[in-house]
Chain A
């Protein structure tokens, strides 16, 4: 079976911008390479200034690379404007024409994408319902809140039903409900066979949504893998909850170290360093008359991996 054509291929991408009075070129991206396959949700993680937005601008032909190659659906990015018909893009903190209403703005976006009038009307209605802006269609955009602007940004990106959706910090500025709704929209997109590539520094969102993660730091890739692989199978510790439980002093007497015992309300919580120790402590606690309520192995979060990689990258950079 032939492998699928990647939706995004970035090869050895480098980019610098002139800065300061003497226009000295400062590198933003250095030899970045990655691919995004069809029907994947790929998270693009990195701290502020890592080069996420620059990469996304190059993908959308808003900036030009110094060197390297970007192909979308197998075609060179920016060669044909028609390629952009297959892409939906939401910039970071989108700003719109504030003299327009939400409906007028989506109509403009639809026309720019070459949609027919009837299709624009139908899709706009669908989008307003789907992203939670129903009722605000005829309100001037200048009266929209930050969260509403973010939703409108997503609506314009999805209006023409693109195959690839590129989102730059889609969750930024949203309340928990808003973030959940956007997460649901992204999941629906995958269910509909679309490909989603989004940048974020909210690691929990990336962990919850993505099939794969690309981490960059100072314009260089520091990791590219599936979320599961990045987080690993290693168990950091095992949490044992006892309720009812004899007083902690009894547990200490059984050989459980005091620093591993804590009291939380009526329950006693033990933190065992590994699975073998957890089994031993369970036996000891039960022998002392405790009842085991729960036993939870703690794995690494993507955030731990991310922080470790970023710190390692910074240490390497300082050397």
Chain B
């Protein structure tokens, strides 16, 4: 049962983990996280909070870069290189292939996000040597990870029917709009135009609300102490991903390979 999906996922995990670009991005991310202590010294206020703030922003930014730029090639590269012919000629339903690809990348992103969070935690602990450490870093990193999973599913969805460049544009647009859906709803309502209000509502309800995963500020002020904070975002992420992946599976199952 689901052997095909798990085999594809394991292979995708292996593919991404052996991807040299991933290590280049990761190395740069770790360098920036390491540099937060230096940057914090240039700032005012609670310097340890600046370390957490900058560190989480780095994890977020580099995570999004990895999710989008690996996610968009996830399916399209298999089609371009015709490796998909070998896989789909085996007894593997097409939906298992799509889910396996997304699952494999999510596993890689999970490992990398966790690794970056551990590094940030240690950097922060080193900065606050002898004082209390900040476990909220892991809560905020879990929120970031959920956002990355959602973006991966969106990138996989786009890559089932369009080119990598368009997939990147669509996914990055989703990322940008996803962080301002609440504002778009608010300003649409305040504009006085029924069309703008309708558009604001449509965007709010249809496009992903990525701010729901943002626990960075909560972690910076030491308020992200309970994993229960993550339950609602987790349910939101799972339902949104299920809907997006369902669409991706439907499109991919009807795809003709030229």
Query: Which residues of A are in contact with B by a Cβ distance under 8 Å?
Result: 17, 57, 60-64, 81-85, 87, 89, 91, 93-97, 99-100, 104, 108-109, 111-114, 153, 156
Contact = CB atoms under 8 A, between A and B. Distances in A.
A81 B85 contact: no
Nearest to A107: B7
A85 B93 CA distance: 12
Nearest to A57: B257
A112 B90 contact: yes
Contacts of A17: 256, 258
A194 B130 CA distance: 73
Given A99-B19, A112-B3, A153-B86, 11 more contacts: A57-B257, A60-B88, A62-B89, A91-B86, A94-B82, A95-B82, A96-B86, A112-B4, A112-B7, A112-B8, A112-B90
Nearest to B6: A111
Interface in B200-258: 254, 256-258
Nearest to B16: A99
A111 B85 CA distance: 16
* Minimum-distance CB pairs A-B, first 6: A112-B90, A89-B89, A81-B91, A111-B7, A91-B85, A84-B91
B92 interface: yes
Interface of B: 3-4, 7-8, 11, 14-15, 18-19, 81-83, 85-93, 254, 256-258
B198 to A, nearest CB: 32
Contact of B92 (A60, A87, A112): A112
B130 to A, nearest CB: 45
Contacts of A95: 81-83
B30 to A, nearest CB: 23
A27 to B, nearest CB: 14
Given A82-B91, A84-B91, A108 B256 contact: no
A81 B256 CA distance: 17
A140 to B, nearest CB: 10
Nearest to A94: B86
Nearest to B18: A99
A161 to B, nearest CB: 14
B93 A81 contact: yes
B18 A112 contact: no
Contacts of A61: 88-89
A84 B89 contact: yes
B101 to A, nearest CB: 12
A63 B82 CA distance: 13
Contacts of A108: 7, 11
A224 B7 CA distance: 41
A87 B4 CA distance: 16
B89 A96 contact: no
B91 A112 contact: yes
A63 B83 CA distance: 15
A13 to B, nearest CB: 14
Could you say which of A62, A83, A109 has the most chain B C-beta atoms within 10 Å of its C-beta?
A62
A91 B3 contact: no
A26 to B, nearest CB: 11
B18 A91 contact: no
B256 A97 contact: no
Nearest to A153: B86
Contacts of A64: 254, 256
A83 B254 CA distance: 19
Contacts of B91: 81-85, 112-114
Contacts of B88: 60-62
24 contacts: A57-B85, A57-B257, A60-B88, A61-B89, A62-B85, A62-B256, A63-B257, A64-B254, A64-B256, A83-B91, A85-B91, A91-B82, A94-B86, A95-B82, A96-B86, A97-B11, A111-B3, A111-B7, A112-B7, A112-B87, A112-B90, A112-B91, A113-B90, A156-B86
Contacts of A93: 82
Contacts of B8: 112
A67 B10 CA distance: 37
A164 B19 CA distance: 36
B81 to A, nearest CB: 5
A87 B89 contact: yes
A60 B85 CA distance: 9
